[in-house]
């Protein structure tokens, strides 16, 4: 039996998982700005899950940040009260057993590569496109954390192959402009629609208007798909994944799975006519990478945390 804990900005969710089968699940409000209370909440969740599902030898934890491989301290967390804390050691001491901690987008990728939409694939790039953009890399079943624990952090790279009106791009909270996140996140799509119409809408409403034939909404989604194709083509050129899995709120836009693969061939190295294939044929056909929607939806974070300890 595996226990996974997903520490979010508003809730902490716990899951007891037995070979992919959910035995128990519960969630509590995150004690914001209180590190000791966060440790206590996690300990209580683990105890409650074990009362229901039996003992677990380890615990996996997903956080909106990462453990610095050199110092062992939390970094890059938007749950700022975790930053600089030795969370792994403190939890191992509180729980009396080994704990593994990974970035929440990495947990998402682990979940989808283990028994989700990319199960069995060799190289997987798992992307969360929601209020922000995060991603994780799985190579032959192994999570790639990287030297700085930032592998997959592609959302704050600049949008590649920018058109004139995409440069320098919108300002990003990270201090730069034109980050992929400023275009592909939900707020990024909403901002694009607002720039062209002056109207503030949530992304699902933009999609609905495009479905109803509104030109401005359709143009916003077409720009969105083109930008996602460019951003993911750059990933394909570096990582060459078998499968790219999308999660988060923007993964609910059904049309991206059809349209983005029709565009990305123009940017993937060797997939265009300049790369040497027959004139007139579509570059898209030469890109074998699959773009798929997450299977486990919002559960992927906590499931992936549980899967941080491999099944035995
Ligand atoms: Zn940025």
- Angle, alpha carbons 129-241-260 (nearest 5°): 50
Environment class of residue 286 by beta-carbon count within 10 Å: exposed (0-12), middle (13-18) or buried (19+)?
middle
- Ligand 1 centre from 309 Cα, in Å? 32
What is the crossing angle of helices 203-211 and 215-239, to 10°?
110
Distance 177 CA to ligand 1 centre (A): 7
CA of 310 to the centre of ligand 1 (A): 33
Q: Tell me, letter by letter, the H, E, C secondary structure of 78-97.
A: CCHHHCCCCHHHHHHHHHCC
**What is the CA(157)–ligand 1 centre distance, in A?**
7
- Residues 286-310 have a mean pLDDT of 94
Residue 227, class by beta-carbon neighbours within 10 Å (0-12 exposed, 13-18 middle, 19+ buried)? buried
Which residues face 178 on adjacent strands?
A: none
Query: Which CA distances in Å does 1 have to 55, 145, 215?
Result: 7, 24, 52
Angle between the N-to-C axes of helices 186-197 and 203-211, in degrees from 0 to 180, rounded to the nearest 10: 60
Whole-angstrom Cα distance, residue 118 to residue 292? 8
CB atoms within 10 A of CB 280: 6
Around ion ligand 1, residues with a beta carbon closer than 5 Å are: 156, 172, 174, 179
Q: What is the mean pLDDT of the chain?
A: 94
Which pLDDT belongs to residue 97? Answer: 97
Report d(CA 104, CA 76) in Å as an integer: 12
Distance of CA 105 from the midpoint of ligand 1 (Å): 16
d(CA 174, CA 176): 6
239: enclosing H helix or E strand: helix 215-239
Residue 204 CA, ligand 1 centroid: distance in Å? 23
Cα 173 to averaged position of ligand 1 atoms, centre (Å): 6
**Two structure tokens written together for 240:** 């060459």
Give CA–CA dist 227/122, Å, rounded. 26
Q: How far is the CA of 38 from the centre of ligand 1 (A)?
A: 28
pLDDT recorded at residue 99:
98
Range with lowest mean pLDDT among 30-34, 187-191, 270-274? 270-274
Q: What is the DSSP letter of 14?
A: E
**In which band, very low, low, confident or very high, does the pLDDT at 79 lie, cut at 50, 70 and 90?**
confident
12: its two tokens: 């902490």
For 237-286, write each residue's pLDDT tens digit. 999 999 999 999 999 999 999 999 999 999 999 987 554 444 445 555 68
Q: How far is the CA of 248 from the centre of ligand 1 (A)?
A: 18
How far is ligand 1, taken at its centre, from the CA of residue 132, in Å? 10
What's the rounded Cα separation, in Å, for the pair 81 and 172? Answer: 22
Q: 102 is written with which tokens? A: 């990974």
Confidence of residue 185 (pLDDT cuts 50, 70, 90): very high
CA distance 147 to 60: 20
126 alpha carbon to ligand 1 midpoint, in Å?
A: 19
Rounded to whole angstroms, the Cα distance separating 14 from 27 reads: 6
Q: How many whole angstroms from 162 Cα to the centroid of ligand 1? A: 15
Tens digit of each residue's pLDDT (9 = 90 or more) over 216-226? 999 999 999 99
Average pLDDT over residues 118-129: 97
Q: Give CA–CA dist 17/239, Å, rounded.
A: 30
Measured between alpha carbons, how far is 126 from 246 in angstroms, rounded to an integer?
6
Looking at residue 285, its pLDDT comes to: 62
Q: 131 CA to middle of ligand 1, Å?
A: 13
Nearest residue to 42 (alpha-carbon basis) of 97, 114, 110: 97
The confidence score (pLDDT) of residue 37 equals 97
Residues constituting the chain: 312
Cα 150 to ligand 1 centroid, rounded to whole Å: 14
């Amino acid at each position: 039996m595996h226990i996974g804990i997903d520490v979010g900005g508003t809730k902490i969710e716990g899951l007891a998982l037995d070979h992919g089968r959910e035995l128990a699940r519960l969630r509590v409000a995150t004690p914001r700005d209180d590190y000791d209370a966060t440790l206590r909440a996690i300990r209580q969740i683990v105890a409650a899950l074990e009362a229901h599902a039996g003992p677990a030898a380890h615990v996996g934890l997903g956080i909106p940040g990462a453990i610095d491989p050199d110092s062992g301290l939390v970094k890059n967390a938007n749950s700022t009260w975790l930053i600089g804390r030795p969370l792994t050691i403190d939890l191992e001491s509180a729980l009396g057993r080994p704990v593994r901690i990974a970035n929440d987008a990495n947990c998402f990728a682990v979940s989808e590569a283990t028994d989700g939409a990319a199960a069995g694939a060799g190289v997987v790039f798992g992307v969360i496109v929601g209020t922000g953009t995060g991603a994780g890399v799985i190579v032959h079943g192994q999570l790639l954390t990287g030297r700085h624990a930032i592998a997959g952090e592609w959302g704050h790279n600049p949008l590649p192959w920018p058109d004139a009106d995409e440069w320098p791009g919108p300002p990003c909270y990270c201090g730069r402009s034109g980050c992929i996140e400023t275009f592909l996140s939900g707020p990024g799509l909403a901002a694009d629609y607002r720039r062209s119409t002056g109207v503030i809408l949530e992304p699902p409403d933009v999609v609905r208007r495009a479905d109803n034939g509104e030109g401005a909404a359709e143009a916003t989604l077409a720009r969105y798909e083109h930008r996602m194709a460019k951003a993911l083509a750059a990933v394909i050129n570096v990582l060459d994944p078998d499968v790219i899995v999308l999660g988060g709120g923007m993964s609910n836009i059904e049309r991206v799975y059809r349209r983005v693969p029709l565009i990305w061939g123009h940017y993937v190295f060797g997939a265009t006519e300049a790369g040497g294939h027959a004139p007139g044929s579509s570059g898209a056909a030469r890109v074998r990478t699959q773009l798929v929607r997450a299977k486990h939806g919002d559960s992927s974070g906590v499931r992936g945390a549980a899967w941080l300890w491999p099944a035995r």
